């Protein structure tokens, strides 16, 4: 694909290590059909900018802006918590949206509030009856207990023992087996490995769909893990979710019988800004 002759301005951002290339495409400089290929090109580590995904700002007639997320493999994701937090800060600092804004995503409208380097998302409501709890899958004679739920995107939360010392590579192998089960997970799934660390704290590692690897942080995964642990009575909100790259805070507010509203708060970092060229 050919970038505009003047080059394409970009920002590099991350939320707790979950990193993104951000571009403003409100004026359609890049045709929509070329965005998956652009993500493949820009997200390569070492030979390009490198990122977990490409965030694209577009205009919206439903909110202050529209977010499109393209994973490192070029697939388009419905929602990304850390990505939406980064996009909210970017939009505020560029004067695209006010400090409290509404972001249109494929998963629906998401509210966001920017306060300095922190951004908080109103991720909407979740019906607790939709969570598949107490699920089991046996791999090589080992039984894995998990909950399955959708927080913008599908998540499988595997409950680990606090002393489970498996390395990242072994967890990734388990995650790939889960993801390959098309009968259980027809839309694919993000796989979260969760350890409860106290009444208000979790540890979480996420193998992300579309990234096909364990990332330093996952926003929707943080929310999914907090909800799964809360439903089992293992934590109370607000829940600090410790990802390898940093902490996300998840608030769970009961809105009525069987309905909760989720909020996700965490820090964002603007790493660099520059211009992309065809070379």
| Residues designated as active site | 80, 218
In terms of C-beta density within 10 A (0-12 exposed, 13-18 middle, 19 or more buried), how is residue 198 classed? exposed
DSSP code, position 222: H
**Can you read off the two tokens belonging to residue 103?**
């972001």
Buried-exposed string 95-118: b where 16+ CB fall within 10 A, e elsewhere: ebbeeebbbbbebeebbbbbeeee
Q: Which residues face 138 on adjacent strands?
A: 143
Reported for 114-120, long-range contacts at CB under 8 A and 24+ positions apart, including other chains, are 114/88, 114/89, 117/89, 117/267, 117/268, 117/269, 118/265, 118/266, 118/267, 118/268, 119/15, 119/84, 119/85, 119/86, 119/88, 119/89, 119/265, 119/266, 119/268, 120/85, 120/263, 120/264, 120/265
Q: Cα separation of 199 and 197, whole Å?
A: 7
| Torsion angle (degrees, nearest 10) of CA 25, 107, 13, 45 | -90
């Amino acid at each position: 694909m050919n970038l505009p002759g003047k080059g394409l301005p970009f920002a590099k951002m991350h939320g707790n290590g979950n990193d993104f290339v951000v571009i403003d495409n409100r004026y359609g400089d890049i045709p929509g059909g070329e965005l998956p290929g652009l993500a493949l090109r820009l997200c390569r580590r070492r030979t390009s900018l490198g990122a977990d995904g490409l965030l694209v700002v577009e205009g919206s007639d439903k909110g202050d802006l529209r977010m499109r997320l393209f994973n490192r493999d070029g697939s388009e994701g419905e929602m990304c918590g850390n990505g939406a937090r980064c996009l909210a800060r970017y939009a505020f600092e560029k004067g695209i949206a006010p400090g409290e804004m509404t972001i249109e995503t494929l998963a629906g409208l998401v509210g966001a509030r920017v306060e300095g380097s922190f951004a908080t998302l109103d991720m909407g409501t979740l019906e607790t009856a939709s969570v598949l709890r107490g699920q089991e899958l046996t791999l090589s004679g080992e039984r894995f207990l998990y909950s399955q739920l959708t927080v913008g995107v599908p998540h499988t939360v595997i409950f680990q023992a606090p002393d489970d010392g498996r390395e990242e590579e072994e967890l990734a192998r388990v995650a790939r087996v889960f993801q390959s089960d098309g009968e259980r997970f027809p839309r694919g799934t993000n796989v979260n490995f969760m350890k409860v660390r106290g009444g208000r704290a979790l540890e979480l590692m996420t193998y992300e769909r579309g990234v096909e690897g364990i990332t330093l942080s996952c926003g929707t995964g943080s929310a999914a893990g907090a909800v799964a642990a809360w439903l089992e009575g293992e934590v109370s909100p607000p829940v600090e979710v410790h990802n390898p790259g940093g902490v996300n805070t998840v608030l769970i507010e009961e809105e009525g019988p069987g309905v909760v509203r989720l909020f996700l708060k965490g820090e964002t970092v603007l790493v660099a800004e520059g211009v992309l060229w065809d070379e």
